[in-house]
Amino acid sequence: MLEVRELTVCAGTFRLREVSLRVEPGRCHAVLGPSGCGKTTLLHGVLGLRPVESGSVTLNGREITRWPVERRGMGYVPQELGLFPHLTVRENIRYGLEARGCRGAEWERWMEELVDVTGLGGLLDRRPNQLSGGERQRVALVRALAFRPKLVLLDEPFAALNESLRRELWWLLRTLQHRHGLTVLLVTHDLAEAYVLADRVTVLLEGRVIQQGDKAAVYGRPAAPAVAQFLGVETLQPGRVLAAGQGLVTVEVGRARLQALGDAQPGESVLVSIRAEDVLLAGEAGGGSSARNRLPARVLRVDPGHPLWRVELDAGFPLTALVTRPACEELGLAPGQSVQAWIKAPAVHLIRAEACGRGESGLFRTGGRALLSRGPEG
Amino acid sequence: MMNDAGIGGSPSDRERPGSQGRRSFAPTVLAAWAVLVVYAGLIAAALTFVEPGGLRSVLSSPRTWYSVRLSLAAATAASVLGLLCALPAGYALSRHRFRGRGWVETVLELPMVVSPAALGAMLLMAFSHPAGQWLQEHGVRFVFTVAGVVLAQFVTVLGMMVRLAKTAFDGVPVELETVARTLGASPARVFRTVTLPLARRELAAALVLGWAKALGEFGATIMIAGTMAMRTETLPIAVYLRLSAADLPGAAALIVLLVIAGLGALICVRWLSGGRSHA
């Protein structure tokens, strides 16, 4: 188990401030954030590549904050992979075993298994410059896993690959992780990657932890406007609480009223965050639905996309929905058409102004205004 | 993946807009040729003075062969010593930010801008100080000795070799060393198994260049070691002595030897830095 407590790391003019996180054994934890948010600095602090200003790093109950890199027993795959160009694949993946003096039949069996699972068997005598991108990635992964590290650190490991190769490697990493109970700390700016691989997520913005928790909770219920913006929440609108009680909140957004779960004070300003895939579209006549919010809406624009089509609506406020192509055709969606937008109350997430923390009320305002002023053209 | 043909190689290896696929010929090419003409002309001028008789007398003289042996041995010793110092110093300059780093980098250029004669004179002055004299009496004698020849060459080539070693280490990505450390290798092991093998061609080139420069060293050597026949007479000094004695054929013959060694070294360096086995 990795435990990072209030870690402050200085990297030039940039400073990572009091970051705390914990990776349970056998779990994958993703640190998510845009480039320049301090993700790599955090990894370097954990690895011991940068001096720690304050705070501590504990691995399996042992404080290792000031230990030298080579004694920490962490497997590391950097963004550029760092394959040794002068060594063959075999020499690359055995480097850690040689350096640590791991010898014996048990290690050989483990190496064979790793090579088998990753399909590197036929490439062992090649050099890194004779490998494809996906193969290089596998070699780097196997090399980091070969000495059975207590923790595996991955820095945007699959960023350079195309979509299908990336998915294949995600699957491979997940298989390895589950089969061998690997503890993984992953750093990425890719939402999909974090969602597929991680159990828990830490959102890092400008060197600070903004939100931490189960990936579904972070994804669906961003704690701050900056998180919502980074996660690409499609509908983010300022609103005012009209009434609250029994866990149900009524919010006025533009000309519409929405019901949401949660608690807030009447009169309070909030930001309403709705993921586009939670918006269901129905014909004007409508039908039976348990959704609490049924908003009459006018279609402003339909963007064909893959795999889902994006529909911009005026529902009293700008609202975005994602629908499948068949659904789009069935409803005959076209600009100017009237439809009903159904949104279940739990899908309407409220970000409270107080929850936005120090120095972020600005983000709160600009976030809202920017989205308000955004016309049908987006 | 990027197209490998598009990157790497010097600009002149690539097709450039405007050249329309032809071999480019610009007025600047004339200047480049002029450089060749200058040096080829100099060599040709020396060759015109080579005559069979002079060549034979030079090649049969034990004094010449002493100079050849002394030059080869001293240049080898000076460049190997230089490399031994350049390895740690170049590595430190490439990898670490430390107090006085800027000064060290500036001083590396000193032998290049201060005349070698001045450098040799400074050595001589250093050894006339009490501390220098003590070293002469209780350690190695440098003034007018072979050790002085080696020292003069060492001092002249050290700066350049440190700079070349730094450049060689700069070419090894720090990240590879980082990864090796995470894999459990100690810094010494990382240096031996990752840094050194990846920099070895450039380091070899540094050694050859240092050797060639030491071989041709004249100013500093003559200051501290003098011109003693069969003692401290290196090839460049032999050229100087024969020229002073108006023995042009003899000087030309020695120059041929020097040019052959120098060109050989340069071809060796081109081969070392040109054909990279990996990267």
> Cα–Cα distance between A106 and A146 in angstroms, integer?
12
* Greater model confidence, A201 or B273: A201
> Under an 8 A CB cutoff, do B182 and A147 touch?
no
The token pair that represents A354 in the structure block = 């107080």
* Cβ contact A158:A81 at 8 Å: no
Residue in chain B closest to A74 (alpha carbons) equals B182
* Cβ contact A257:A224 at 8 Å: no
Percent of all residues in chain A with a pLDDT value above 70, rounded to a whole number = 92
> Under an 8 A CB cutoff, do A70 and B182 touch?
yes
> Under an 8 A CB cutoff, do A99 and B198 touch?
no
> Under an 8 A CB cutoff, do B181 and A74 touch?
no
Residue in chain B closest to A44 (alpha carbons) equals B178
**What is the maximum span of chain B, computed from C-alpha positions, in angstroms?**
70
pLDDT of residue A358: 40
pLDDT of residue B140: 86
pLDDT tens digits, one per residue of A7-26: 999 888 888 888 999 999 99
As a whole number, mean pLDDT of residues A157-177 equals 87
pLDDT of residue A124: 93
The token pair that represents A291 in the structure block = 């959704």
The SS3 of residue B185 is coil
Out of A228-242, A350-364, B85-99, the most confident range is: B85-99
Residue in chain B closest to A87 (alpha carbons) equals B194
SS3 sequence, A21-74? EEECCCCEEEEECCCCCCHHHHHHHHHCCCCEEEEEEEECCEECCCCCHHHCCE
Instruction: Give the helix/strand (H/E) hosting A212.
Output: strand A208-214
pLDDT of residue A321: 92
DSSP string, B199-254: HHHHHHHHHHHHHHHHHH--HHHHHHH---TTTT--HHHHHHHHHHTT-HHHHHHH
Spatial CB neighbours of B57, under 8 Å, sequence gap ≥ 6? B250
Q: Tell me the nearest-neighbour CA distance from B91 into chain A, angstroms.
A: 18
| Nearest residue, CB atoms, A99 vs list B185, B197, B279 | B185
* Cβ contact A257:A250 at 8 Å: yes
Within 10 Å of residue A246's Cβ, how many Cβ atoms?
A: 6
> Cα–Cα distance between A102 and A105 in angstroms, integer?
10
> Cα–Cα distance between A151 and A25 in angstroms, integer?
9
The token pair that represents A281 in the structure block = 């579209």
Closest among A175, A220, A163, A219 to A194, alpha carbons compared: A219
pLDDT of residue A44: 92
The token pair that represents A369 in the structure block = 């205004």
Closest among B245, B237, B227, B259 to B54, alpha carbons compared: B245
- For chains A and B, count residue pairs whose Cβ atoms are closer than 8 Å: 67
Average pLDDT of chain A is 86
Identify the DSSP state of A129: G
Q: Are strands A235-245 and A208-214 parallel, antiparallel or unpaired?
A: unpaired
Whether B176 and chain A come into contact, CB under 8 Å, resolves to yes
pLDDT tens digits, one per residue of B223-240: 999 888 888 999 999 999
* Cβ contact A264:A249 at 8 Å: yes
Contacts of B178 in chain A (CB under 8 A): 47, 49, 69, 76, 78, 82
> Under an 8 A CB cutoff, do B184 and A143 touch?
no
Contacts of A99 in chain B (CB under 8 A): 180, 183-186, 189
Within 10 Å of residue B232's Cβ, how many Cβ atoms?
A: 24
A152: number of CA atoms within 13 Å, CB side? 27
The token pair that represents A360 in the structure block = 């972020």
Contacts of A64 in chain B (CB under 8 A): none
Spatial CB neighbours of A290, under 8 Å, sequence gap ≥ 6? A344
| Nearest residue, CB atoms, B194 vs list A84, A129, A144 | A84
pLDDT at A355 over 70: no
How many residues are recorded in chain A? 378
> Under an 8 A CB cutoff, do A95 and B198 touch?
no
Contacts of A144 in chain B (CB under 8 A): 182-183
Contacts of B180 in chain A (CB under 8 A): 84, 95, 99
Contacts of B173 in chain A (CB under 8 A): 80, 82
Contacts of A74 in chain B (CB under 8 A): 182
Pick among A50, A92, A94, A95 to test the B interface (most B CBs inside 10 A):
A95
Q: Tell me the nearest-neighbour CA distance from B158 into chain A, angstroms.
A: 29
Percent of all residues in chain A with a pLDDT value above 90, rounded to a whole number = 46
Whether B8 and chain A come into contact, CB under 8 Å, resolves to no
> Under an 8 A CB cutoff, do A99 and B182 touch?
no
> Cα–Cα distance between A121 and A137 in angstroms, integer?
15
> Under an 8 A CB cutoff, do B180 and A84 touch?
yes
pLDDT at A369 over 70: no
Q: What pTM was computed for the model?
A: 0.78
Q: Tell me the nearest-neighbour CA distance from A171 into chain B, angstroms.
A: 22
- By the 10 Å C-beta count (0-12 exposed, 13-18 middle, 19+ buried), B29 is classed as exposed
pLDDT at B5 over 60: no
ipTM above 0.90, yes or no: no
> Cα–Cα distance between A95 and A148 in angstroms, integer?
13
Whether B129 and chain A come into contact, CB under 8 Å, resolves to no
Beta bridge partners of A235: A274
Q: Are strands A151-155 and A74-77 parallel, antiparallel or unpaired?
A: parallel
